A and B are shown apart, each in its own frame.
Chain A
Amino acid sequence: MNIKDVLSPFTAWKRVARDPVTVKDPFNDRPGADRYRGFHKNDVEACIGCGTCEDICENEAIDLVPFKDPISGDSGLRPSIDYGRCCWCALCVDVCTTNSLTLSNEYTWVATDPDEFIFTPGVDKKDWDENEKGWKKPEGNYEFYGLKRVEMEHLHPEERSDSFIEMVKGYSKEQAQKEADRCVECGICTATCPAHMGIPEYIKAIRNDDIEEGLRVLYETNPLPEICGRICTHKCESVCSIGHKGDPLSIRWLKRYIADQVPSDKYKDILDTNEIENNDKKIAIIGAGPSGLTAAHYLVKMGYSVTIFEQFEAAGGMMRYGIPEYRLPYESIDKDINYILSLGVDIKYNTRIGADITLDQLGKDFDAVFSGTGLHLGRSTGIPGSDNEHVYYSTDYLRKITAGEEIEVAESIVVIGGGNVAMDITRSLARMQKVKYGKANIIATSLEKEDVMPADREEVVEAREEGAIINPGWAPQSIEIKDGVPTGLHVVECNSLFDETGRFNPQCSMDVKEFWPGVQIIESIGQGMDLSYISEEFKENMAFSPRGRVETNDYFQTGVKWFFMGGDIIEGPDVIHGIANGHKAAIGIDNFIQGIDFKAAK
């Protein structure tokens, strides 16, 4: 034995004089590190109740509980957390779509009642709610799902500015699947979509490359997917939870992707509509717009014999006669409509209710009637000169373009209006000018300034790319007429539209004036409805809102029990509201015919 080995351990004694290293005061707080994964906090105002945190939690520690009434874009639920299950992995924080969920650096909590450890952060107030430190989603390139949208390819302005070829190219399979991958399946979109489409479900079908399933999901709530996949106002995208930190999902283009993949001759097999059992009840539908077509689709599937009466020579309503072809090609419209007609829907073209047949007659010949006649009357500004024959309504003009009628396309044009319809006519005429004169020379204006213009931003940008001048923030004063022909539009600067009480009351600087030359003027300031086919006798039995709209119950039934109305004349105006109304009305009509009680008309 080595003597050194006996003595060496005694060197430990040199530490005797040192200060102890143990915690001297165990009763005082030792704050957790800045990134500490302590107790949960939730900014309940920023949280949207999407439930993604619940989905990722492998311990099932999270449960979404009611917090307030749901509103568009917010389920009204908030995550409650069970600390009997949580392991403080903070995956819920990292995946949170709004970054509202964080962890504090607090880690001690004493309570005698075990149920206290199930709590709703942010709602059940805690000492650490104001604690700024603790775990937050790591910064930098650390994302659990893609925040960037898969870019959609468009035709270049040079390729499209003189043609009506569809400008959006559509996703390839790889692009669609990549985009579909970003979805967190929260369903916030479904709640906001007027038709409550099964959006997460059809996006999932794309991920699974199960297009047939995708089509089935689409047709559960929407029989016009080719159309909606192109021109829907996509309210769903404005609430998409991914939009809080990144680009919302391209829900609309994904829908189009599914519909585009399936050839028409496969529809009946996939949707199982080769055989439909008929009943002996007959339904009449006035107008072959989206609301009428949708009602027809669901009613014919229920077994009713359905007849549509349409004043024009083709079906589609404003989808065909309003929306320009470069946004919505006729083949797409035809694909959706032909499938509906193929189910056995009868359609009588060139038949105007009120002129060719009365509503009263329809009521007698059919068991129920649905009307979706839309907004087809042009509205005028009424400014001096607007009654000139070279001043037109945009909708009349768009209809003529569709019908292939000969129309006047002047070398210089001014469009009054800054909404999407105004952009449609501007861009359509710019294309026709380019073909006829080699260049576009068209100005569109709106009362609103650029940042609050009603038209979609991309419409304005694309119109400019195509050579149109968009000049927002001006109020039209008069149309200058010389020798019976307009020479241009006088405008003054418009500063605001509404007064303090919120009433429409434009304020203009009368001394800031401009004159825009144009030998043709188009008015595009909205459309009105023509309900002249409803007789006074019927109207007496129907309720009207103070603003003159017909009031219906939740199933779009009017005071005249067999008469249902929907689409733009009731709600909207857009295609998806028409679809939603048409579907709900179909259910209402079925209930009505079967004598099932539902809330009576208001």
Chain B
Amino acid sequence: MDLKKLFQMNPDRSLYPEMGEDGKPIIDLSSHKFLKIWQGPQHPGITGNMSLELTVSGDEIVESKTHVGYLHRGFEKLMERRKFIQCFPTCIRMCVAEPDPNEYILAAAIEDLAGIEVPETAQWLRTLALEMARLQILLRSVPGQGGTFALGLGYQWGNYIRDLILDRFEELTGGRVYHMYIIPGGVRGLLPDGFKKRMEENLKLVDEFVINIDNLMYNNSVFKQRAKGLAVIPKDWIDTYGVYGPTARAAGVMRDVRKTHPYLKYAELDFEPFTTTESDVYARSRVRWHDLQTTVDLIRQIMAKMPDGGEIRAETPNVLHWRIPKGETYQKCESSRGEYGMYMVTDGSDKPRRVNLKGPSYTHANALLDKLLINANIADTAAIMVSLATCPPEIER
């Protein structure tokens, strides 16, 4: 044994673990050089119920395996036993924190298969609801990245404003968390009186928040030190691992369904999704900070452009025995985490034959996270996971 090596103050970590010929680490737990620890399923750094089986050597992760299954509710399967209208309250829980894209892709799939044209006003209101959903979740996930490095203050600020946005959701949709607003055929209500004014007041707070969080987090030496250069996703992994949305845009790949495949009213709105190339935790967070500003701007544009009144729902067959012709479709939108889509197959009956959700967390938090965590420090696990905007409920639907 090389004693010098053993007592060296700065051990050469690249020697551990030893790599086998297949490129995988040689891990012998009985060597006492490795330790297995579980992060999650109950852990403040895991946003939802999921767990990471980490093999560490010292404080360095040498292997990671994502385990899901703590949260399985089987929504896709449940929907096969629900009438189309009954899928509406079911689908929203597929991603709890940002429920509106669930509602939208379900409605869009049903409408596409049934050949239903959604009224103009309802399309504007849908666009608004989707941007409000993005706003409320970014108010959490932007400062939330700081939280993973123990910077809790920004999170408090963001959550306060988020609560005000939930107030707006409450008055528009009747619910704070499960909005159940984008219903197949249209939406469930026009803007209440005075909504735009109250929304604008809230948006001013967001403007202020954007500056404050810039000072608190992005120009913070500790945050920078820890986030910059951390968990870099090389550009060529973007396709290999199926990376979407802000995570892809941080690697210089323009992925934003709103822009690449405009839906609802996005083609009539003026915006340019932010891209950068560093592709580390800092860059990914920074992209979301820009997204937050884009969303504020979009909400202002929508409120200025949308008609005041109008029809909120297209005529549909009686929802109690709504049969949809045989067919299949894939409908998608841009969630705060990236492309969020639903594949639906119908067989002419009053229930979907198959529903499949495609969300970014599935690829981000399984294959990609496993890979990114190798050689990372245990203390950075939560930061890396959050930087991928992992939503465990969306993996397990």
Q: Which residues of B contact A583 (CB under 8 A)?
A: none
Given A21-B160, A33-B170, does the pair A145, B221 have CB atoms closer than 8 Å? Answer: no
Given A2-B221, A4-B219, A140-B312, does the pair A90, B320 have CB atoms closer than 8 Å? Answer: no
- Which residues of A476-492 have CB atoms within 8 Å of chain B's CB atoms? none
Given A2-B221, A5-B224, does the pair A55, B311 have CB atoms closer than 8 Å? Answer: no
Q: How far is the CA of A32 from the CA of B169 in the complex (A)?
A: 12
**Are B88 and A91 within 8 A (Cβ)?**
yes
Nearest-neighbour CB distance to chain B for A498, whole angstroms, equals 43
Q: Which residue of A lies closest to B168 (CB)?
A: A33
Given A8-B215, A207-B321, does the pair A141, B315 have CB atoms closer than 8 Å? Answer: yes
**Are B220 and A58 within 8 A (Cβ)?**
no
Per DSSP, are chain A's interface residues mostly helix, strand or loop, or mixed? loop
**Are A35 and B219 within 8 A (Cβ)?**
no
Q: How far is the CA of A182 from the CA of B315 in the complex (A)?
A: 12
Nearest-neighbour CB distance to chain A for B225, whole angstroms, equals 8
Tally of contact residues, B, Cβ under 8 A: 44
Q: Which residues of A contact B319 (CB under 8 A)?
A: 56, 95, 144-145
Given A11-B212, A35-B189, A90-B180, does the pair A146, B221 have CB atoms closer than 8 Å? Answer: no
Given A5-B224, A9-B220, does the pair A138, B321 have CB atoms closer than 8 Å? Answer: no
Interface string of B60-88 (1 = CB under 8 A from A): 00000000000000000000001101111
**Are A5 and B220 within 8 A (Cβ)?**
yes
Q: Which residue of A lies closest to B219 (CB)?
A: A8
- Which residues of B204-235 have CB atoms within 8 Å of chain A's CB atoms? 212, 215-217, 219-221, 224-225
Nearest-neighbour CB distance to chain B for A188, whole angstroms, equals 15
Q: How far is the CA of A539 from the CA of B319 in the complex (A)?
A: 57
Q: How far is the CA of A182 from the CA of B180 in the complex (A)?
A: 24
Q: Which residues of B contact A141 (CB under 8 A)?
A: 119, 311-313, 315
**Are B220 and A8 within 8 A (Cβ)?**
yes
Q: Which residues of A contact B141 (CB under 8 A)?
A: none
**Are B318 and A144 within 8 A (Cβ)?**
yes
Q: Which residue of B lies closest to A184 (CB)?
A: B320
Nearest-neighbour CB distance to chain B for A37, whole angstroms, equals 4
Is B330's CB within 8 Å of the partner chain A? Answer: no
Is B144's CB within 8 Å of the partner chain A? Answer: no
**Are A35 and B318 within 8 A (Cβ)?**
no
**Are A12 and B320 within 8 A (Cβ)?**
no
**Are A181 and B318 within 8 A (Cβ)?**
yes
Q: Which residues of B contact A89 (CB under 8 A)?
A: 88-89, 178, 180
Is B20's CB within 8 Å of the partner chain A? Answer: no
Instruction: Give the B-binding residues of A (Cβ under 8 A).
Output: 1-2, 4-6, 8-9, 11-12, 15, 21-22, 32-37, 52, 55-56, 58-59, 87-91, 94-95, 103, 135, 138, 140-146, 181-185, 204, 207
Pairs A–B under 8 Å by Cβ, sample size 9: A5-B220, A33-B167, A56-B86, A59-B89, A90-B174, A90-B180, A181-B317, A183-B318, A184-B320
Instruction: Give the A-binding residues of B (Cβ under 8 A).
Output: 82-83, 85-90, 119, 153, 160, 167, 170-175, 178, 180, 186, 188-190, 192, 212, 215-217, 219-221, 224-225, 311-313, 315-321
Q: Please name 12 further chain A to chain B contacts, defined as beta carbons within 8 Å, in addition to the given A8-B216, A181-B321, sorted by A numbering.
A: A2-B221, A5-B221, A9-B219, A22-B160, A35-B173, A89-B88, A138-B189, A138-B313, A144-B320, A146-B318, A182-B318, A183-B318
